[in-house]
Amino acid sequence: MSPARRGQDTRDRVVGAAASLYRRQGCAGTGLAQIAQESGTRVGSIYHFFGGGKDALTEEVVRTSGAAYGALVAGILAEGPEDPVEALGAAFGRAADDLAASGYADACPIATIALEVASTHEPLRRATAEVFGEWLVGLTAFCRGVVDDEAVARDLATAVLTMLEGAFVLSRAARDTTALHAAGRGVVVLASALRDTHAAQD
């Protein structure tokens, strides 16, 4: 393992530790010292990799964990039931299981950051908006398996994402998965209703 490769590892560990801590405590509630400790390095090393300081690290966390979570959800949907409506419902059940298994910590990796920075830090706000936008592109493509109309599919995708995000808020606060399961049932009813009125021609 070359020194350059070790450096890359350290950088990745810093991003991973920051992502994990941000997800549970938010950005403002997480200090660089804690990130350094959790990743087994020093604050000085963080500044070696992220000349822009905490803001630069946070932006990278948003982008990398946003991409990772988008891929995770896409994989779950792809491996789920063949009927896309059922697959959407099953994904909420899977999200509920994962959330409970993590002690109600691992929900959306960027939602807390998004709310914290929305009115306080324009570059980070843009980064979160772009991640949500990319997720919506993928979800809309999936929803076109339910309704062929592009605009209706995007509406459905947006509704699905809002229900997932909102259910994460309620479920983490309540420390139970009823909100996620109720949202999953709602998604199935909504998607079915849209499929009935805007039949997909496949």
Contacts with its own copies by CB under 8 A lie at 24-26, 28-29, 103-105, 111-112, 114-116, 118-120, 125, 128-129, 132-133, 154-156, 158-159, 161-167, 169-170, 172-175, 178-179, 182-183, 185-186, 189-190, 192-194
Q: Does 119 bind DNA (CB under 7 A)?
A: no
Q: Does 7 bind DNA (CB under 7 A)?
A: yes
Q: Does 133 bind DNA (CB under 7 A)?
A: no
**Interface residue with DNA, options 16, 24, 26, 34 (CB under 7 A):** 34
CB of 131 to DNA, least distance (A): 21
Which partner in its own copies, DNA, none is near 201 (CB below 5 to 8 A by kind)?
Answer: none
Cα of 13 vs its chain's centroid, Å: 19
Terminal Cα distance for the chain, rounded:
51
Which partner in DNA, its own copies, none is near 34 (CB below 5 to 8 A by kind)?
Answer: DNA
Q: Does 31 bind DNA (CB under 7 A)?
A: yes
Amino acid at 14: V
Q: Does 192 bind DNA (CB under 7 A)?
A: no
Which residues in 52-71 contact DNA (CB under 7 A)? 53-55
What is the C-alpha to C-alpha distance for residues 82 and 113, in angstroms, rounded to an integer?
34
**Interface residue with DNA, options 1, 4, 78, 197 (CB under 7 A):** 4
Task: Name the residue nearer to DNA (CB basis): 12 or 79.
Answer: 12
Which partner in its own copies, DNA, none is near 74 (CB below 5 to 8 A by kind)?
Answer: none
Which partner in its own copies, DNA, none is near 166 (CB below 5 to 8 A by kind)?
Answer: its own copies
**Contact (Cβ atoms closer than 8 angstroms) between residue 93 and residue 183:** no
Amino acid at 137: V
Q: Which residues bind DNA (CB under 7 A)?
A: 3-4, 6-8, 10, 30-34, 41-45, 47-49, 53-55
